Amino acid sequence: MKKTEDGYIIPIRLSDYVETLDDWELVEYISRFEATSKYLRNGASQAKYDEMKRVWDKRYPEEEVPVLECVPPLDCELSFLHECRRINEED
């Protein structure tokens, strides 16, 4: 999404957004998606993964995506945020 000066948020297509990403962002998301259990993936994460693979293949037609092995799965942030909230509520 793109925010204007007056505070409006203009939605953009997923394909347009992914085209603007750097290579390392593609590699990171693809790696995290593949590290995520298939039971924790949804239609939105699958669509973003497919689009990132498409952009990678467009940029580097003969190369596989270098999947990183030391990345957390996609659901990691939610667990972290819930844990932070729990700690704050206990204080």
Confidence class of residue 83 from pLDDT cuts 50, 70 and 90? Answer: low
pTM here is 0.73
Tell me the H-state helices in the chain: 14-19, 23-35, 43-59, 76-90
Q: pLDDT tens across 34-78, in order?
A: 999 899 899 999 999 999 999 999 999 999 999 988 887 887 665
Total count of residues recorded for the chain:
91
Q: 1 versus 45: which is more confidently predicted? A: 45
HSE of 20, CA atoms in CB hemisphere, 13 A: 7
**Measured CA distances, 38 to 5, 68, 88 (Å):** 40, 18, 31
CB-neighbour burial class of residue 32 (10 A; exposed 0-12, middle 13-18, buried 19+): buried
* Residue ranges per structural domain of the chain: 22-90
Q: What is the mean pLDDT of the chain?
A: 85
